[in-house]
Amino acid sequence: MHVLEFTPIATLMGGDLMKCGRNARETAIYLGVSERQVFRLVENGFLTSYRVGSRVVFYEEDIEKYLERCRQPAQEEQVTAPVTAPERRRKRG
């Protein structure tokens, strides 16, 4: 299995990611979803995007806000006795 390494365009350009933003493909790779799913998140109001000319741009701050809303808090561990299967009764014959 090949793992794609993600390098933001802003890094390649030597700029600040907040100023440059990510395109839909980069955002999809970062979130681990398809580009179509990224646009569904936008359409349903879960993820904020910006239209800059003909480009759709996603900023790191908005992506992190979306991820924070998706965060599932860890459940506290419950200290209980282990669950075991009930003993089987033998038939008397």
pLDDT in tens, 50-75: 998 899 999 999 999 999 999 888 77
Please check whether residue 75 lies inside any domain of the structure: no
Please check whether residue 86 lies inside any domain of the structure: no
Please check whether residue 84 lies inside any domain of the structure: no
Predicted pLDDT of residue 17: 46
pTM (predicted TM-score): 0.59
CA distances in angstroms from 6 to 9, 26, 27, 30, 85, listed in the order given: 9, 8, 10, 7, 47
CATH of the domain at 44: 1.10.1660
Please check whether residue 87 lies inside any domain of the structure: no
Predicted pLDDT of residue 75: 76
Predicted pLDDT of residue 76: 73
Please check whether residue 3 lies inside any domain of the structure: no
Positions of the chain with pLDDT lower than 70, given as ranges: 1-19, 77-88, 93
- Which of 33, 25, 21, 28 lies closest to 62 in space, CA to CA? 21
Please check whether residue 36 lies inside any domain of the structure: yes
Q: Residue 67: helix, strand or coil by DSSP?
A: helix
Question: How far apart, in whole angstroms, are the C-alpha atoms of residue 44 and residue 48?
Answer: 10
Structural domain of 35 = 9-70
Q: Residue 4: helix, strand or coil by DSSP?
A: coil
What is the count of structural domains for the chain? Answer: 1
